[in-house]
Amino acid sequence: MAKYLNATLKQVHVPADMQPDSSSDGSVSIYNPDSNELVELWKARKSGSSWQACWGGRITNANQSLGIFSGTFGASASGMAVWPTMIRQQELLNGRIDHVVGLAIPQTKKGSYSWPAVRGDGWFAGTELSIGQMLRLPASLDIDAMNLSPVAKTIAKAAQQYGIIITDTSGSVSFSAENPIALATDKYSTIFRGRAGWAEMAGDKTKGEVAFPLEKLVALPMNYRAPVSSTTATATATATATATAASSTGNTAYPAAVKNANPWLYWRLSDTSRTTAADASGHGNTGTLLNVITGRSGAIAGDNAIGTYGNRKSFAASGGTTPAKAFSVQLWFKTNSTGGGKLAGFENTKSALGTRYDRSLYLTNKGKLIFGTNPGTISTVSSSRSYNDDAWHMVTATQSAAGTRLYVDGALVASSAQTAAQAGSGYWHLGGGNMKGWPSAPGSYFVRGSLDEFAVYNTALSAATIAAQYKAAG
């Protein structure tokens, strides 16, 4: 990833007098109107004559972009660019802000984010607002009739007309404005009438002013105005149109081949919801998405995939069930991880590490595929080659009275005579779970990569069916 970040940020023109935000975040936004590119850096610092950053990203065609960084790139916890929602000094001087404004709040919701955020770092349970969620002041509120400070009035009008977006989790409720170190002349003293910014937002009581009406803000629904097919880095209007067009001309042979084999569960993982995986099997076995990245480019043309971060908060789980004696578990994956991870498995807990876990399909640190069951003693089969080559691979594991079989990219790669698995009910996991005690257990129990087209069947698919499915993928 560091290598990819370097490539992303290569040849960025850094102004000679650039100064990052002096806070620990060291955030920088650089917009180049000539190339129409926006680069944002996090923890930027100068080392000798060159600049280094811990993380960042680049958005091309910036003035047409939705301002969302791809994958895990960007300078913010949300994946949203900081620059578009930042209040400019000149806007405060003009008394007019013609855009949505960003707001950081101390408590953001755990495991949840709202479009246009593509990820979040919230960790409070039970609070109402998610990273990316929008708020606004009601249109009926007469802001001119309120005795607000000039700054509070300007921001309140933007909050009424364009809205506020939750951009970050911070120590206090705060709007983000341009850092004066980036400006030719610092006029904040004039803007804030010689007082602190927070004091101006609270109003000057000696003038009878009231505080910015935070209590009148109304939260808009999650994913407010999200496009039906939202994409990430290249989420320009053009790219969205392309993605929509692609879905109508996408590959229909592969999903048809899966459905013909009567899956018990079939998640295509092209969901716009960040929390629910729709089931295409017809059996209503929707899944729960936990802190995954949606809108990733998929294995099958015209249909997206999800991405996982490789940590224990980021995976998907089915509803409770008892697996059939004969079964198949199947998915596509794409990773370059050298930490391995469980691609799929069956556990007795839905969202925590299981204390009973079985039917484990996983990648070792070296990228080899292992599938096994634990009817009393763990019994596995393993591929001879590695698959952590950042290309899409289709993996299918089956078990029945005929034994255990592991297929990769439509072909049998390993088998054993094992016909049994652990008894009991539980949940299918996609993307990670407990691996403790399993042979060549991965360094990371949770896989970091893209996952797609997850299917579970209550039958052992035949070699011919699997080969035909792989062929249908094109």
Contacts with Ca ion by CB under 5 A lie at 268-270, 298, 303, 452
Return the structure tokens found at 8: 């992303």
Nearer to Ca ion, 136 or 268 (CB): 268
Considering only CA atoms, which of 410, 404, 419, 385 is closest in space to residue 466?
Answer: 410
Q: How far is the CB of 333 from Ca ion (least distance, A)?
A: 12
Q: How far is the CB of 356 from Ca ion (least distance, A)?
A: 30
Q: Which residue has the tokens 């035949």?
A: 462
Torsion of CA 280, 284, 290, 294, to 10 degrees: 20
Q: Cα(37)–Cα(432) distance, rounded to whole angstroms?
A: 36
Residue 402 Cα distances to 201, 383, 385, angstroms: 72, 19, 24
Return the sign of the alpha-carbon dihedral for residues 144, 149, 154, 159.
Answer: negative
Nearer to Ca ion, 58 or 268 (CB): 268
Please count the CA atoms within 13 angstroms of the CA of 29 that sit on its side-chain side.
23
Q: List CB contacts of 94: < 8 A, sequence separation 6 or more.
A: none
Q: How far is the CB of 450 from Ca ion (least distance, A)?
A: 10
Q: Cα(205)–Cα(248) distance, rounded to whole angstroms?
A: 60
Nearer to Ca ion, 74 or 298 (CB): 298
SS3 content of the chain, % helix, strand, coil (to 5): 20, 30, 50
Nearer to Ca ion, 91 or 303 (CB): 303
CB of 100 within 8 A of CB of 116? no
Nearer to Ca ion, 121 or 409 (CB): 409
Q: How far is the CB of 363 from Ca ion (least distance, A)?
A: 20
Q: List CB contacts of 163: < 8 A, sequence separation 6 or more.
A: 100, 101, 134, 135, 136, 220
Residue 32: helix, strand or coil by DSSP? strand
Q: How far is the CB of 302 from Ca ion (least distance, A)?
A: 9
- Ramachandran class of 416: left when φ > 0, alpha when ψ lies in -120 to 50, beta otherwise: beta
Q: How far is the CB of 305 from Ca ion (least distance, A)?
A: 5
Return the sign of the alpha-carbon dihedral for residues 237, 240, 244, 247.
Answer: positive
Query: Residue 23 corresponds to which amino acid?
Result: S
Q: How far is the CB of 442 from Ca ion (least distance, A)?
A: 24
Nearer to Ca ion, 247 or 419 (CB): 247
Q: How far is the CB of 430 from Ca ion (least distance, A)?
A: 12
Nearer to Ca ion, 270 or 318 (CB): 270
Nearer to Ca ion, 192 or 454 (CB): 454
